[in-house]
């Protein structure tokens, strides 16, 4: 949208501007935030409010030439992000508007650089927090060392249990050998008893059925004597 410059204005040593043949309020031709400038003057003012088609107020006291019927211009278009004034074909005294736009850009860049420094300070703070996290991780590693020592102790106990179990196995083996020796002795005793019974049976002078029974009884008795667990 091009500049608005319909009519003329009367200026005074105040922030109030009176227009003649103007329609500032109609269709919101001029609004708060627009830039007001007297033609061929370098000073640029910001509109604070519009109170009618012929009356508006500036954000600062007007300090330019005091006169009636002065030509003027109002810049109404601005960039969407940082409200930098825009210039359109047909605008008058546009170099002044471009200069104002450059100054606004400079202020935006300077402001953003300040914010960037703040961001750097915040990033430094984040790094300090990260160092704290590292310290916490280091503490966890110390606990892990303790766990390793405990695990080592458990392994030593386990080795001791294995040694004890091995000792029990050796004792059991020794018991088996001893029992085997006892069985061998019992077997020998049984063989001797049976042999003695047979010798006694053969030594009998008669071989009646009664004698055979008596001889078998003596052999069984000898076997019974040879078995210590019966």
* pLDDT(61) > 50: yes
Report, in this order, helix, strand and coil percent for the chain, each rounded to 5: 55, 15, 30
For residue 68, the 8-state DSSP code is S
C-alpha dist (Å) from residue 201 to 172, 188, 196, 209: 43, 20, 9, 12
User: Quick one: pLDDT at residue 108?
Assistant: 84
Task: Please count the other Cβ atoms lying within 10 Å of the Cβ belonging to residue 94.
Answer: 17
* pLDDT(143) > 60: no
Confirm if 9 and 22 have CB atoms less than 8 A apart.
yes
Of residues 159 and 70, more confidently modeled: 70
pTM summary value: 0.49
Angle of CA points 122, 124, 127, to nearest 5°: 115
Confirm if 100 and 79 have CB atoms less than 8 A apart.
no
Share of the chain above pLDDT 90, in %: 31
Instruction: State how far the Cα of 51 lies from the Cα of 62, in Å rounded to an integer.
Output: 17
Q: What is the pLDDT of residues 83-132, one digit of tens each?
A: 889 988 888 878 888 888 888 888 888 877 665 677 767 767 766 656 77
User: Which residue's entry shows tokens 């008596």?
Assistant: 214
Instruction: State how far the Cα of 78 lies from the Cα of 89, in Å rounded to an integer.
Output: 15
* pLDDT(7) > 90: yes
Of residues 69 and 223, more confidently modeled: 69
User: Quick one: pLDDT at residue 158?
Assistant: 64
Instruction: Give residue 230's pLDDT band: very low, low, confident or very high (50, 70, 90).
Output: very low
Confirm if 86 and 94 have CB atoms less than 8 A apart.
no
40 backbone dihedrals φ, ψ, rounded to 5°: 65, 15
State mean pLDDT over 175-180: 67
């Amino acid at each position: 949208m091009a500049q608005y410059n319909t009519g003329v204005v009367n200026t005074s040593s105040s922030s109030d501007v009176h227009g003649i043949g103007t329609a500032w309020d109609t269709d919101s031709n001029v609004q708060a935030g627009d830039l007001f400038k007297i033609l061929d003057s370098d000073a640029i003012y910001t509109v604070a409010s519009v109170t009618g088609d012929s009356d508006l107020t500036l954000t600062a006291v007007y300090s330019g030439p005091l006169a009636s019927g002065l030509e003027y211009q109002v810049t109404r278009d601005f960039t969407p992000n940082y409200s930098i004034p825009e210039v359109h074909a047909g605008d008058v005294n546009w170099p002044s508007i471009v200069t104002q736009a450059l100054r606004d850009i400079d202020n935006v860049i300077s402001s953003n650089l300040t914010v960037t420094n703040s961001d750097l300070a915040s990033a430094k703070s984040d790094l300090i927090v990260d160092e704290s996290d590292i310290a916490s991780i280091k503490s966890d590693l110390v606990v892990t060392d303790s766990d390793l020592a405990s695990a080592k102790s458990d392994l030593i106990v386990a080795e001791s249990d294995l040694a004890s179990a091995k000792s029990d196995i050796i004792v059991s083996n020794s018991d088996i050998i001893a029992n085997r020796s006892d069985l061998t002795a019992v077997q020998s005793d049984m063989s001797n008893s049976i042999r003695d019974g047979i010798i006694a049976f053969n030594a009998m002078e008669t071989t009646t059925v009664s004698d055979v029974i008596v001889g078998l009884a003596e052999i069984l008795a000898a076997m019974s004597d040879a078995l210590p667990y019966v």
